[in-house]
Amino acid sequence: MNSNAHNSAYGPSALLTPANLMTSIRVFLTPVMIVLVLSMGPSSWLLWSLWAVLTFSDGIDGKLARRHGATRSGAFLDPLADKILVLGTLAALVARHDISWVPVVLIAFREIAMNSFRIYAGNRGVSIPAKPLAKLKTILQDFAIAAAFFPPVATPYHNVFVYLLWASVALTLITGLEYAKDARVVLSHQGQLT
């Protein structure tokens, strides 16, 4: 089978794809992650391992999407699953008083606004691709949370987690402003943003 045929295994409107299955597994495991954080707290090899698997699987569903063909549902569900996982885990850490609620609210506000913007643009046939800085923001959030769970760092060097989290908040707000500029383009033009 050539690569072109392989890439068109699923149409753009398909829902039941291997990539979406992987994304769904991440969503279903998020409550497990939250319960474990609430019951065990940070500095846990189990939490760190589960977090590593969940964040690594994000790359797997991206590879599956490229292999079998990207879909509109996948383009929407994948970033949404990431946000549910990150915000749910951070909210659990807030509930345990391991971090302040302020950075989590700032991240949540940006993500809700961004998802609303994507839905609005998508309904008008406009795709909003992730910017490189936004991808870096996601990676930094993942590393920050990993630092909260990684036992050699979590307890003796708790500030590492806090600094990484605030750095990700800064990138979150910067990328939010970039997307806000793009929103004006969406409102005035129909087409693909680059």
Q: Which helix (H) or strand (E) holds 12?
A: none
pLDDT for 194: 41
What is the pTM (predicted TM-score) of this model? 0.79
**What's the rounded Cα separation, in Å, for the pair 135 and 39?**
30
pLDDT for 155: 81
Number of H helices, E strands in the chain: 8, 0
pLDDT for 72: 57
Q: Which residue segments constitute the domains of the chain, with CATH numbers given? A: 3-188 (1.20.120.1760)
pLDDT for 89: 95
Q: 97 with 52: CB under 8 angstroms?
A: no
pLDDT for 133: 86
**What's the rounded Cα separation, in Å, for the pair 25 and 135?**
21
pLDDT for 117: 78
| Token reading at 180 | 């806000």
Instruction: Name residues of the chain where pLDDT drops below 50.
Output: 1-7, 191-194
Entry field: residues in the chain: 194
**What's the rounded Cα separation, in Å, for the pair 131 and 144?**
20
pLDDT for 65: 58
3-state DSSP call for residue 123? helix
pLDDT for 1: 41
pLDDT for 167: 94
pLDDT for 76: 60
